[in-house]
């Protein structure tokens, strides 16, 4: 069987398909003449063909309300776990953990969800992890820094997510040249 430049690199995993075609057995290495079956028909040979997957767009980000729900629930669980571990007396650890949460949520979210994510994380940090506990307060020296840190984490996560998705989409759109 003759092989084109694409045939050597194809497998079912990489998007190839198997098709049956009528071909004389002389196309098969080692055969000298067409072989006839009982009904006078030539035998069938398997041929690999490349199936183009087409253009796939960049995945859509998750809707903003779902990101905010994840931020609220995740921050609540995270602050509760840190409280049970006795680590809330160090607010720097809680801020770092909530910043990681905001960045992870940002990877799948939209840019417009970042400020709300940062605000929800800050509210739970301020309400449960900073003194006076149980009250939302504003300390002019620390709260702007906390808000900026959480907002930067959410924006960095969102930017990283958009770049990674765009690079993956670019690779899927790139033409297959058959060189491997």
Return phi, psi of residue 20, to 5°. -95, 140
What integer pLDDT is reported at residue 43 of this predicted model?
Answer: 62
Q: What DSSP assignment string belongs to 9-75? A: G--GGGTEEEEEEE--GGGSTT--S--B-TTSPBPEEEEEEE------PPPPPPPHHHHHHHHHHHH
Vertex 72: Cα angle to 70 and 73 (nearest 5): 65
Residues 34, 47: Cα–Cα separation, whole Å: 17
pTM value? 0.64
- The β-bridge partners of 177 are none
Closest by CA position to 89, among listed 129, 119, 61: 129
Interval 11-44: pLDDT, tens? 444 444 444 444 444 444 444 455 555 555 556 6
Mean pLDDT, the chain, whole residue set: 76
106 close to 61: Cβ distance less than 8 angstroms: no
What integer pLDDT is reported at residue 55 of this predicted model?
Answer: 59
What integer pLDDT is reported at residue 107 of this predicted model?
Answer: 94
Instruction: Look at residue 59 and tell me whether its pLDDT is greater than 70.
Output: yes
Interval 81-140: pLDDT, tens? 998 998 888 888 999 999 999 999 999 999 999 999 999 999 998 888 887 777 888 888
What integer pLDDT is reported at residue 89 of this predicted model?
Answer: 81
What integer pLDDT is reported at residue 73 of this predicted model?
Answer: 96
What integer pLDDT is reported at residue 131 of this predicted model?
Answer: 75
Q: What DSSP assignment string belongs to 106-132? A: HHHS-GGGHHHHHHHHHHHHHHHHSSS
Q: Break the chain into its structural domains and give their ranges.
A: 7-50, 64-171
What integer pLDDT is reported at residue 53 of this predicted model?
Answer: 58
Vertex 103: Cα angle to 101 and 107 (nearest 5): 115
Closest by CA position to 70, among listed 38, 34, 26, 101: 101
The residue among 116 and 10 whose pLDDT is bigger is: 116
Residues 175, 5: Cα–Cα separation, whole Å: 14
Owner of token pair 């767009």 = 57
């Amino acid at each position: 069987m003759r092989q084109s430049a694409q045939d050597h690199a194809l497998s079912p995993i990489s998007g190839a398909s198997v098709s049956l075609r009528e071909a004389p057995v002389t196309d098969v290495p080692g055969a000298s003449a067409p072989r006839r079956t009982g009904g006078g028909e030539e035998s069938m040979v398997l041929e690999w063909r490349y199936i183009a997957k087409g253009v796939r767009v960049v995945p859509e980000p998750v809707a903003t309300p779902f990101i905010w729900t994840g931020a609220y629930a995740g921050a609540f669980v995270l602050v509760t776990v840190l409280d049970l571990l006795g680590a809330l007396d160090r607010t720097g650890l809680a801020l770092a953990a909530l910043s990681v949460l905001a960045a992870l949520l940002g990877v799948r979210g939209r840019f417009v969800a970042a400020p709300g994510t940062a605000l929800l994380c800050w509210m739970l940090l301020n309400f449960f992890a900073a003194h006076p506990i149980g009250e939302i307060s504003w300390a002019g020296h620390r709260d702007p820094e906390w808000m900026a840190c959480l907002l930067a984490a959410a924006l960095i996560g969102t930017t990283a997510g958009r770049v990674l998705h765009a690079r993956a989409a670019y690779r899927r759109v790139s033409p297959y040249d058959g060189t491997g």
